[in-house]
Structure 1
Amino acid sequence: MTERKDDGLPDAARLQQPIARLLRPLVRLFIRCGTTFPALCDLLRELYVNVAVHDFPLPKKEQTDSRISLLTGIHRKEVRRLRNAGAPVRQTPAAVSRTTQIVALWMADPRFATEAGAPAPLRRSGLEGNGPTFEDLVGEVTRDVRPRAVLDDWLDRKIVTFDEQERVVLTEAAIAPNRGDERQLYYFGRNLHDHIAAAVANISSSSSPFMERAVHYEGLTEDAARRLEALSRELAMAALVAANREAQALHRKDEGGEWRWNFGIYVYREKEPGGAHDATDEEEPRS
């Protein structure tokens, strides 16, 4: 039996169904990518020990192998072997961080935007014309990497392209990374982590500290689902651009600290087996 307090949290039996639904797309990905069940078990075993050691300490008491075994259900010999692995390192790859900062600045700073507020096509430093250049943009974020190297890398990854005037133009891939892009896997882990962490915090707290809501309808035709998806994309992009612009302005004035913030939006549609015909409008926080 594992250690558990009567703190209003759902018991393990009630968690079975939502966890199964949550894990199903991940298991689909694991099978496609060759992550076998034994390999996943090894990862989960190490993660269980790691979380118990670092996230469930007792005040002024030693975190013993016996207590970790009690919390996790993992044998003490395995606990002893695994507990020295250390906490997972939450580190953003340098290329991902640099790309994200440059794109965010390009999308938010009026110096690099059109009159309508969209990212403006930028001259390369050697081209004639007025206004800031791609070199100016990169120089605002980093002096450690040459702008030409960033440009070559981004062209290869299709983050930017050239227009008919040979100006550098931001593409959709800058916001939604292409398959195989290092940023895609990084944000896969980061964004899903933050979404799940917000939902877990809402379940674990007497109040709902984070906004975590959705609007969903069932029993739609494919045409209606596609039209709603297109509308959602427009609304989502407008919200993300506005939030990014405000965050850039605050970031310039902020003294810096230990906190981070994430604002994410997802849109999803699929054909459901069974063809449900009831429509609902969900506007309640999942708490």
Structure 2
Amino acid sequence: MPENISFGAHLVSVWLNSARFCTESGRPLPLPRLASNGGECSFDGLVAHVSKDIRARVVLDECLRLGIVRIDDQDCVHLEAMAFIPQRGFDEKAAYFRHNLHDHACAAAHNLTESGEPFFERSVHYDGLSSSSVEQLRDAVRTEGMQVLIAFNQLAAELEGQDVPEPDARQRITIGLYFYTEPSPPDTPPSTKASSS
């Protein structure tokens, strides 16, 4: 991952998982922009918590450019996404595309070719739904799927805080969830499937 994306993802994870910057339910708090107004519980404090080597204003400008945060009339910074999801910035979106496609393809290839325990890879597909049903499912995936990923993020953050692996024993993970829709071919009879790999 490019450095700005790795830093941004770490920043959002701390914002969502550190009691100083979120509620008990993992909801991000609006943070005063300046340490002079919020001390350690400010956006300046959040950036300093993640790294002492970068100025908070640079981070704020980049987060604003990517649509990750907004500033309100009281000069508080609000997290606009429950994950580091750039709304703008082609390079940032392309980096996530490469990362997610790589890891999903590697999991699928492992499941096809390896004899060990398979990676979890499951999907549900239907081809006889109306547009309104698809919209209802899209909303459910957006809401409930995000809650599942937030829970995994919180668990991973807790485990990472407890773990102290040797440098050559560290492992990375990717847990993903996606939604896709397109028109069904008109001559295909409706069917329902639950697929597993």
Describe the superposition over 1:189-237 as per-residue Cα deviations: whole angstroms up to 9, x where unpaired: 1110110110110111235520000011111111111111111111210
List structure 1 segments (4+ residues) > 6 angstroms apart after TM superposition: none
Which one of 98, 102, 105 corresponds to residue 189 of structure 1?
Answer: 98
Judge conservation of contact 2:17–2:154 (CA < 8 Å) in 1. Answer: yes
Which one of 164, 176, 181 corresponds to residue 85 of structure 2?
Answer: 176
Which one of 161, 166, 170 corresponds to residue 75 of structure 2?
Answer: 166
Select the structure with the greater relative contact order (CA < 8 A; seq sep ≥ 6).
2
Residue 141 of structure 1: aligned partner: 50
Q: Which residues in structure 2 correspond to 1:1-287 (within 5 Å)?
A: 92-126=1-35, 128=37, 132-172=41-81, 175-206=84-115, 208-256=117-165, 257-274=169-186, 276-282=188-194, 284-286=195-197
Q: Which has the higher strand share?
A: 2
Per the alignment, do residues 187 and 217 of structure 1 end up closer, same or farther by CA in structure 2, a change over 3 Å counting? same
CA radius of gyration, larger in: 1
Judge conservation of contact 2:35–2:43 (CA < 8 Å) in 1. Answer: no
Structure 1 CA distance for aligned equivalents of residues 91 and 18 of structure 2:
25
Per the alignment, do residues 126 and 203 of structure 1 end up closer, same or farther by CA in structure 2, a change over 3 Å counting? closer
Structure 1 CA distance for aligned equivalents of residues 186 and 117 of structure 2:
33
Per the alignment, do residues 173 and 154 of structure 1 end up closer, same or farther by CA in structure 2, a change over 3 Å counting? farther
The AA in structure 1 aligned to 2:153 is N
**How many angstroms does 1:131 deviate by?**
7.0
Per the alignment, do residues 233 and 207 of structure 1 end up closer, same or farther by CA in structure 2, a change over 3 Å counting? same
Structure 1 CA distance for aligned equivalents of residues 71 and 124 of structure 2:
38
Structure 2 CA distance for aligned equivalents of residues 146 and 136 of structure 1:
11
Per the alignment, do residues 280 and 147 of structure 1 end up closer, same or farther by CA in structure 2, a change over 3 Å counting? same
Per the alignment, do residues 277 and 176 of structure 1 end up closer, same or farther by CA in structure 2, a change over 3 Å counting? farther
Structure 2 CA distance for aligned equivalents of residues 208 and 274 of structure 1:
39
The AA in structure 1 aligned to 2:121 is E
In the superposition, the TM-score normalised over structure 2's length comes to 0.88
The AA in structure 1 aligned to 2:28 is P
Structure 1 CA distance for aligned equivalents of residues 139 and 188 of structure 2:
22
Structure 2 CA distance for aligned equivalents of residues 156 and 114 of structure 1:
26
SS of equivalent residue, structure 2 residue 70:
strand
State the percentage of identical aligned residues: 37
Per the alignment, do residues 275 and 99 of structure 1 end up closer, same or farther by CA in structure 2, a change over 3 Å counting? farther
Q: Aligned residue pairs: how many?
A: 194
The AA in structure 2 aligned to 1:279 is S
Q: Which runs of 5+ in 1 are unaligned?
A: 1-91
The AA in structure 2 aligned to 1:235 is E
**How many angstroms does 1:144 deviate by?**
0.9
In the superposition, the TM-score normalised over structure 1's length comes to 0.62
RMSD over aligned Cα, in angstroms?
2.1
